Amino acid sequence: MKNTQIVPFALVVVLVAAGAVAAQNPAQAPAQTPSGQQAQPQQQQAQPEYVVKARAMLRDGKLGEALAVYREELAKTPESVQANNAAGVVLDLMGNYAEARKYFARAIEAAATPQAKAAQQRAMAMSYAFENDCKKAVEWEQKVFDYWVSVNDFFQQGEMANEVARVCLEAGDVDTAAKWYKTGYEMGMKEPNIKPDRVDLWEFRWQHAQARIAARRGKHDEAQKHVAAAKAALDKGTNPTQAVFFPYLVAYVAYYRGDYATALAEFQKANQNDPFIQCMMAQTYEKMGEKEKAMELYKKAAATTAHNPPAAYARPFAKKKLG
């Protein structure tokens, strides 16, 4: 039997980009081994000087200067997967999506292995996520999903399905999101010799997803039933790292129910560094008539340099709010 290998997005796809890349949602939670123990992070190799330089610029919000560094490197090594990926990420952050995809296409073409190619296809999917384009994001994430099918990695199949489902949910395509979340759950549960804690993990994720889907459809009683089921899965205590995602769920459901006081209180218990949470809190403040607090949070969300579903939703949305 092939061992499940969990490959963190931050290490495979956008190691070259500044900022956290691990998506803050139960579809992209901290990786766990098949035994249920949190996986130890892979040791990162020393990065080239140009990467270090560009990252520093990104941290300072100097996207144009960081892009110039990557382009200078590409003038010397045009087939560099790392530099092409990095340039694409920066261009997405700048809102130049069509140009970004030219670089991701080069990275895909230059990738040396099927797994490396899948990683770059995943970055391409996120590029479309920045434009709220569910259909094109699905097209590219399907290629990544198919790679994990080819190596019989059911956990990663579930991860990829959940990832694109979240993109589609926040893009407003609830039906497509529901389809992919169901696929994610079904594939994850097919892991050979799956351990009880992994079963609990997928159950939590599936109930979490169904609650958000029901909330978006205005089915508030159904949403609450799934919230309770998610809590029951979490209360088994087999996946303590998932606890941070529960307040986000309660808040999300409350927001779409119009209970903004509860939504705000619960969002404040969630990860305050997650741009998606910042953006949702800002929208909640707007609903409550507190525009100044909303604008402060939109500024934080708009400053993210991640390249993942939370950032793909939050950065463009927040920048529009800021005008």
Lowest average pLDDT, out of 11-20, 81-90, 232-241, goes to 11-20
List pLDDT tens digits, range 179-198. Answer: 999 999 999 999 999 999 99
Confidence at residue 43, expressed as pLDDT on a 0 to 100 scale: 53
Domains of the chain listed by start with CATH number? 18-32+45-169+179-194 (1.25.40.10)
Provide the pLDDT confidence category of residue 34 given band limits of 50, 70 and 90: very low
Residue 31 has pLDDT above 60, yes or no: no
What is residue 41's DSSP assignment? P
**Reported pTM:** 0.88
Confidence at residue 243, expressed as pLDDT on a 0 to 100 scale: 97
Phi and psi at 153, nearest 5°, equal: -100, 95
What would the mean pLDDT of 134-161 be, rounded to a whole number?
Answer: 98
Confidence at residue 45, expressed as pLDDT on a 0 to 100 scale: 72
Confidence at residue 17, expressed as pLDDT on a 0 to 100 scale: 39
Mean pLDDT of the chain: 89
Residue 27 has pLDDT above 80, yes or no: no
Query: Which DSSP string do the residues of 247-259 spell out, in sequence order?
Result: HHHHHHHHHHHT-
Residue 163 has pLDDT above 90, yes or no: yes
Provide the pLDDT confidence category of residue 44 given band limits of 50, 70 and 90: low
Comparison of pLDDT for 227 and 9, the residue scoring more:
227
Provide the pLDDT confidence category of residue 134 given band limits of 50, 70 and 90: very high
- Residue 310's contacts (CB-CB under 8 Å, 6 or more residues apart) are 23, 24, 25, 274, 275, 276, 277, 304
What would the mean pLDDT of 240-255 be, rounded to a whole number?
Answer: 97
List pLDDT tens digits, range 206-234. Answer: 999 999 999 999 999 999 999 999 999 99
List pLDDT tens digits, range 101-113. Answer: 999 999 999 999 9
Residue 12 has pLDDT above 50, yes or no: no
Confidence at residue 238, expressed as pLDDT on a 0 to 100 scale: 98
Phi and psi at 38, nearest 5°, equal: -65, 130
Confidence at residue 185, expressed as pLDDT on a 0 to 100 scale: 98
Cα gap 204→158, rounded to integer Å: 13
Q: Which residue has the tokens 């520093």?
A: 56
Percent of the chain predicted with pLDDT > 70: 86
CA 110, distance to chain mean position in Å, is 24
Confidence at residue 10, expressed as pLDDT on a 0 to 100 scale: 34
Confidence at residue 11, expressed as pLDDT on a 0 to 100 scale: 35
Q: Please state, in angstroms and as integers, the Cα–Cα distance from residue 144 to each residue in 43, 63, 174, 211, following that order.
A: 24, 28, 21, 26
